Amino acid sequence: MSMKISTNMIKYLSLAIGILVMALSGSLFSFASFSTDLKARFGFSSSNINLLSAIGDTSMYVGFLIVGPIYDHYGERWTMITAAILTFLGYGGMYIAYAKAWGGLGFLMVLYCLAGVASTAGYLAALAANMANFPASTSGTVSGVLLAFFGLSATLFSQIKTHLFSGHDEVADPNSTLKGTKATQTFLLFLTIITTAIYLIGAVFMIKIKKPVIKTLDSGSSSNTTVNNSSDIEKKAAAAAAAATPTTTTVGSTPVQALSRSTTFTPSMKNGREGWNNSSTTLDKESVAPRTAHHLPGDAILESTAPALTGPNSNGGIITTTDASKTWFNPYLTSIDMKPRALLVESTFWFFVIAQVSQQGFSYINNVDSIVHAILDPLDPSTVTRAVSLTGLHVTLISIGNCLGRLASGILSDWVINRYRISRSIFFFISEILILIPLIIMGFSTDIVSMPLLVISSCLIGATYGATGALFASMTRDFFGDTYYGTNCGMVMVLNGFNPIIANQIYGVFYDRAAKKMGPTQESQPSENHMTCLGSACYDSGFKIASLLQIVCVVAAGLLFWAHMRKGRKLMQQMA
């Protein structure tokens, strides 16, 4: 009992630390709150700012290939130490560069890249360690809670910047040639200190609990996954055992255990196609009684061709259940621990990658400040003040939407996948469709987009982006398992690193082109900090292209859902 209490304390303490780490790991998403000062101090164009922002976003995705193997081989502690070192070098270097206006675009890109990889290291360590501490049936909720705070990170830092480091009351130094506020300089120092400190705390107190390894049925060899010992499953199993006799068949005198929702299969490759090795089927320690089936769409798809569940036991006998729909076995919660190279022949992997690469929204998130400036009246004396306030509002809306989207998608996907046996990728598909709405609003509005429509766009972009982010974490576990989770995340996300570069550069090119067409009289603004482009021409062309790319994403997400549902059906057939 004391050991169980101690384990639970470690598990929930690690979750609490993970939440804190996540709340700081999305600091790069607050870039819009200080990008104007960077532009002013270094004399950057909109394309320069978009390139710098894209490099930071890209490094977060490509960084998975660096920190993924570190996590897989050395664990969460060294991953968090890596995060602390890199964030200190990245944000600390940006603080020095901004203070001296030294280094230029190339140097800032290197520093921001370090900060991005640090963010990925903190993100991955907190996510992977805590998901491994909880059963697969709750992975959506766990990832949703963690990533909700990751989504709130932009709100946290943008509000800190707006209220504590706004620079509104600064008096310009007549002897200084530096533009931009000193408040942003202090804000970068704050980012350096707070992220480094929290990452070091995470390295000490966030722990991945080691679980006992169980034996396979056929050979007695160790499985490459661990037992789900959660108290929730144990209570359900005990209650079910007391209420009814398990629907298992005995061979000789040896009772056979029923397959559970934490069943694990080791993939095998046959003629270049994915398959499952039934001899490596892993069972829970306790026998599990049947539960009532829910005959809804997921069951209809599975049961259309699913025969009786069978599998070999250690004595050469067969495990049989006469009704597959009445077992606890769920093919969409079956952990398939796949080695990274095996992913390359998986249809689900490639559909997942294409959907991630073509997903749009970065250009909106990172340029909401320039969009706000473009739709305001430059002759209004309050434009500069309103622009700062509205930029903070929209960054906050995106961040809150991001948080709620991550939390809701995680909880709902867990409920649907457990109750109705439908792949959680259905929520990923729906989210990608919803992302199209704000892109179409921004790209195809006949006039300047109104402020209410801009609010709707910010909320939708935030919520859907948050949902897909949370679903990515749990879907990667559903598809490819826990053992190589860090590296597999990197393989899925690495090509996505080119997405923000392409999207932001497309936006920046059209924005700068529109600004040049306005001529010098239009570019003169009441304030040196005001953007140089006005009207819908600043952004609509970029979002038209983004809408077309998002259609590709929607198609890939639909194929991903179809492929995973089909794979679940094949898994049921393989059990025969």
* Under 8 Å between Cβ of 311 and 281: yes
Q: What residues contact residue 270 under an 8 Å CB cut-off, 6+ apart?
A: none
Confidence (pLDDT) at 101: 83
Helices 451-480 & 368-375 angle (0-180, nearest 10)? 160
Question: What is the DSSP pairing of strand 213-215 with strand 222-226?
Answer: antiparallel
Q: Calculate ∠ Cα 418-317-566, nearest 5°.
A: 35
Scored b (16 or more CB within 10 A) or e, 160-197 reads bbbeebbbeeeeeeeeeebebbbbbbbbbbbbbebbbe
Confidence (pLDDT) at 102: 82
Q: Calculate ∠ Cα 21-23-26, nearest 5°.
A: 100
pLDDT tens digits in sequence order for the chain, 576 residues long: 555 558 888 899 999 999 999 999 988 878 878 888 888 888 888 778 878 888 888 888 889 889 999 999 999 999 999 999 999 999 999 999 998 888 888 999 999 999 999 999 999 999 999 988 988 788 889 999 998 888 788 778 888 888 888 777 776 666 666 777 788 899 999 999 999 999 999 999 999 987 665 443 333 333 333 333 334 444 444 454 444 444 444 434 444 334 444 444 444 444 444 444 443 333 333 334 444 444 444 444 444 433 344 444 333 333 333 334 444 577 887 656 888 899 999 999 999 999 999 999 888 987 888 899 899 887 778 887 888 889 888 988 987 888 899 889 999 999 998 888 899 999 999 999 999 999 999 999 888 899 999 999 999 999 998 899 889 988 998 898 888 889 998 899 888 878 777 887 888 889 888 888 876 544 444 444 444 688 999 999 999 999 999 999 999 999 999 999 998 888 877 776
Confidence (pLDDT) at 152: 81
Scored b (16 or more CB within 10 A) or e, 84-116 reads bbbbbbbbbbbbebbbeeebebeebbebbbbbb
Q: 208 forms bridges with which residues in the sheet?
A: none
Count of Cβ atoms closer than 10 Å to residue 63 Cβ = 27
Return the closest-CA partner of residue 211 out of 3, 15, 1, 476.
Answer: 3
Q: Count of residues for the chain?
A: 576
* Under 8 Å between Cβ of 214 and 271: no
Map tokens 């892109």 to a residue. 439
Count of Cβ atoms closer than 10 Å to residue 341 Cβ = 10
Residue 137 CA, distance from chain mean position? 18
Task: Give the CA dihedral 273, 278, 283, 289, nearest 10 degrees.
Answer: 100
